[in-house]
Structure 1
């Protein structure tokens, strides 16, 4: 089994798409570690606010199988791949880490650079994996969050229920 962390985001029909993604991931992996859900402004383009969270799980899938499976989940939730890179998203699921893998495999570069660049990735990751070491930087996600310029990107926790449970409170 390989420990993985995934970043989920949506700014189109946000609640339904995040819920559908969590349903699909729970079916695929079983037990999930789920951060709070955060709302943030779009980064890189003008658009409606995003809902973002991080999910941890364990998988027997190879990195390539995992990537293909996550793309199918995105596609099943209306993801269009022919638009600009920075544009509205029904669902975006990014692999942040795959065990301790550092490198590039099939155009997948890990650990994902967004971990240290975007508050909407780093804060929820630090929330569910505070003592886990970034595989390349060898610092905990808690320490990376404490070092991060937290005033540089605005985000806030929101109330969010999934599968009959409150997973996030504002």
Structure 2
């Protein structure tokens, strides 16, 4: 079994889509754990603020299978197949890391946004502070401590998790 980390975001009906996305992830993978939810400004385009969090799960799926599963969940929750990269999202799911695997092709793992975006690094560091970034060589707690968070403000959200809370 591999440990995977998934970035989750939404800026359209955020509460509804984050809860639905987490339920779908819990059904697809085992032992889903979630960070707190953070609000951040849209990056790369003018749009409504996003809610973001990171989830950890266990899987026997390959990297390619995990990516297919994430894409299928996004589509089930209203993401258009032709969605532009920088645009509003009902649900955005990104594989951030797969164990300590380093890949460059067909996708980059760990995902580069872990090192550059507060809305990824902060919830990831909260969820798994001892995880050692296989490229940077530092733990996520160390990376977050060194990060210039003033440049990318975040606000922790008192998120209305669904009653089941099967994924927390």
Pairwise TM-score range, normalised by the shorter structure: over 0.9
Distance 2:120 2:81 in 1: 22
Partner of 2:104, secondary structure, is strand
Structure 2 CA distance, aligned partners of 1:91 and 1:159? 19
1:111-163 per-residue CA deviation (whole Å, 9 max, x = no partner) reads 10000110000000000100110011110000000110110101111111324
Q: Output one character per residue of 1:7-28: Cα deviation in whole Å (capped at 9) or x when no partner.
A: 0000011111111110011111
Question: What's the offset of the Cα at 1:39?
Answer: 0.7
Q: How many residues were matched structurally?
A: 166
Q: Which residue of 2 aligns with 1:92?
A: 92
Shift in Å, 1:80 = 1.5
> Distance between the aligned counterparts of 2:31 and 2:2, measured in 1?
14
RMSD across aligned positions (CA): 1.5
More strand by share: 1
Question: Deviations along 1:20-73, whole A, 9 cap, x unmatched?
Answer: 110011111232121000011101110000000000111100000000010000
> Corresponding residue for 2:151?
152
User: Is the deviation greater in 123-132 or in 79-88?
Assistant: 79-88
CA distance in 1, matches of 2:82, 2:26: 28
- Unmatched tracts of structure 2, length 5 or more: none
Distance 2:103 2:56 in 1: 20
Q: Could you tell me the TM-score, scaled by structure 2's length?
A: 0.94
Q: Contact 2:30 / 2:59 at 8 angstroms: preserved in 1?
A: no
Pairing of 1:51-62 with structure 2 (within 5 A): 51-62=51-62
- Displaced runs of 4 or more, over 2 A: 161-165
Gaps (5+ residues) in structure 1? Answer: none
Whole-angstrom distance in 2 between the partners of 1:61 and 1:140: 25
2:55 equivalent to 1:82: no
2:113 alignment partner in structure 1: 114
